[in-house]
């Protein structure tokens, strides 16, 4: 049994290598990134496309038709709660993907839509990958595959967290540096838990 736990620990560690790298890069990058108000933002790429909404259609139906027409990569249909009307009473909503956002304004009187696209920086892209879960993933296959990989990593990282101390206790429980590491990590968690609750 010990040998299998050790092998699975190694294989799951290798399986999670790229995912943990993404988590690490995200954490480091965002820790040193400027405050949101001070960040350089790429210019909006604005374009227009012809679109005539069906007469009397509900906002959700219009948004679904815009989604079908535009087919912005790695996005999905917009939920009801994300639909808004601007001061000119035009329907607005935003498509989100790991690559950035595309804000759409349906200009009914002009029979067209305005699309304001902003691409994510590398850090924002990596952060969006890091946040992806299966429940909130988009219909695109690439998004779903990454979300599945994230979900698998979460469960296998739990296994690593449990099997690591077992392997340590089963092989070198008296190793002083390991004892100090385990104690420091546990104490840090308790202190941070107490401070942030």
- pLDDT tens, 125-140? 888 887 777 776 566 7
Does the predicted model carry a pTM greater than 0.75? no
- Under 8 Å CB-to-CB from 129, ≥6 apart: which residues? 22, 26, 98, 146, 150
Q: What confidence tier does 1 reach under pLDDT thresholds 50, 70, 90?
A: confident
pLDDT above 90: residue 59 = yes
- pLDDT tens, 153-171? 889 999 999 998 888 888 8
pLDDT of residue 138: 64
At 178, which helix (H) or strand (E)? helix 176-196
List phi, psi (to 5°) of 19.
-65, -45
For residue 86, give the 3-state DSSP assignment.
coil
Q: In sequence order, what E strands does the chain have?
A: 45-50, 84-85, 91-97, 100-107, 112-119
């Amino acid at each position: 049994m010990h040998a299998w736990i050790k092998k699975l620990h190694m294989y799951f560690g290798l399986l999670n290598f790229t995912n943990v790298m993404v988590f690490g890069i995200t954490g480091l990058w965002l820790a040193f990134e400027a405050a949101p108000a001070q960040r350089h933002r790429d210019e909006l790429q604005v374009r227009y496309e012809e679109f005539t909404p069906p007469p009397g259609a509900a906002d959700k139906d219009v948004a679904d038709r815009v989604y079908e027409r535009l087919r912005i990569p790695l996005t999905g249909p917009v939920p009801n709660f994300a639909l808004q009307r601007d001061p000119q009473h035009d329907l607005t909503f935003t498509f989100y993907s790991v690559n950035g956002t595309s804000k759409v304004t349906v200009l009914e009187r002009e029979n067209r839509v305005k699309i304001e696209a902003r691409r994510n920086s590398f850090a924002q892209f990596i952060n969006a990958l890091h946040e992806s879960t299966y429940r909130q993933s988009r219909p695109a296959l690439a998004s779903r595959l990454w979300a599945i990989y994230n979900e698998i990593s979460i469960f296998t990282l739990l296994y690593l967290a449990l099997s690591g101390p077992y392997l340590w206790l089963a092989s070198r429980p008296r190793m002083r540096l390991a004892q100090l590491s385990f104690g420091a990590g546990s104490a840090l968690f308790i202190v941070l838990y107490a401070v942030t609750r």
